[in-house]
Amino acid sequence: SDYPSSDQVKKAFRFTWSYVAVQIPASLPSSIADREEQKFAESQRLQLEECRDALRRAFSGIVKRTIDALESDKNGKPTRFKYTLVESINDFLSYFDRRNLARDSELQTLVQVARKAMLGVDTAILKEDRNARDQVAAQFSTIKAELEALPGTRQISFDDD
C-alpha cells in the first residue's frame, strides 16, 4: 500500500496541551496589581495586532501575485501562470475565517470581495477567457488599493537592493 497504516500514523504524531491560568497574585498592592494587569492587557493587544498584521501581509502578498500574474506582458500577451496561483488564493480564502484571530472586520470585507471575484473561476477560465481575467484583475486591483490603506500591510525591507 502507498499509505502508512493507522498504527504508523498514530506513532508518528503526538498531541499535548496544557491549561494555564494567568493571574496577578492577590498579595500585591493594588497599585502594582493594576499596573501589571494593564501591562498584560497591552501585551495581549499587541499580540493580536501582530496576528492581524501577519494575516493582512499574507493576503496582500497573494493579491499582488494575482495581479502580477493576470497582467499582460509588454507585448500585450497575457502572462503565463500556474494552477498553484488559483489554488493558493482559494486556500487562503477557505482558511481565512479560522485564521482571523483578531476578528479583523476590515480584512474580512476585502476577503469577501476576493471570494466573490473568484466564485466559479479556475485556472482554465483565467487562461482562456480574457474578459474574466480582466475582471478578476480589476477586482484584485481594487482590493490592493484598499489593503494598502490598512495599517500593518506594508512590508519593510532592509535590503540594500
Model pTM? 0.75
CA-based torsion, 47, 51, 56, 58: positive or negative: positive
Average pLDDT on 130-154 reads 90
Query: pLDDT tier at 57 (50, 70, 90 boundaries)?
Result: very high
Task: At 52, give phi and psi (nearest 5°).
Answer: -60, -45
Mean pLDDT value across the chain: 88
Q: What is the pLDDT of residue 97?
A: 95
Q: Which residue has the cell 476585502?
A: 110
Could you tell me what percent of the chain has a pLDDT over 70? Answer: 91
Query: pLDDT tier at 154 (50, 70, 90 boundaries)?
Result: low
Task: Identify the CA nearest to 80 among candidates 138, 123, 115.
Answer: 123
